Amino acid sequence: MNKPENHCGAGRRGEDLALTLLASKGFTLLHRNYRRGRGEIDLIMEDPDKVLVFVEVKANRTSTKGRPLERIDGRKIRRLQRLAQRYCCQQGQEHRDMRFDVVGVEMPEDGSRPGLEHIPNAFLPDGANYYPSR
């Protein structure tokens, strides 16, 4: 009998699937699981237009939890924004064009094919040095 996948395993597999999806769209991975303090950005990527993209991955093993964007509250958004700001300062990227995307991954428990939903510009950056320089 197969043991159900734990939360961390499902999250890691969801990130793998999201990474594959974004790579197929021409994105390049810069960092995975960027951590500072209690927060984490799942994927930091560069899109084909050289825009810095901070990606939050929401993986569900069932469809009962709602769409991925519905599962990101204001507190999570603010935490991601602060982490993105720290990343940009640390990497000397303060004036770079950037955005926040979300990738939702539905992983049916019956083993059928996962569903993927990429939401570009899922929420707006907030604060100085976030807005495009163009």
Q: Tens digits of per-residue pLDDT, 76-105? A: 888 999 999 999 999 999 888 999 999 999
Nearest by Cα to 58 from 15, 20, 16: 15
Q: Where are the domains of the chain?
A: 7-115
pLDDT attached to residue 47: 97
* Residue with the larger pLDDT of the pair 119 and 111: 119
Q: Look up the CATH architecture of domain 7-115.
A: 3-Layer(aba) Sandwich (3.40)
Q: Which two tokens stand for residue 122?
A: 């899922």
Lowest model confidence (mean pLDDT) among 11-15, 45-49, 118-122: 11-15
∠ Cα 66 105 17 (to 5°) = 175
pLDDT attached to residue 123: 83
* Amino acid found at 16: D
pLDDT attached to residue 3: 45
Output the pTM of the full model: 0.83
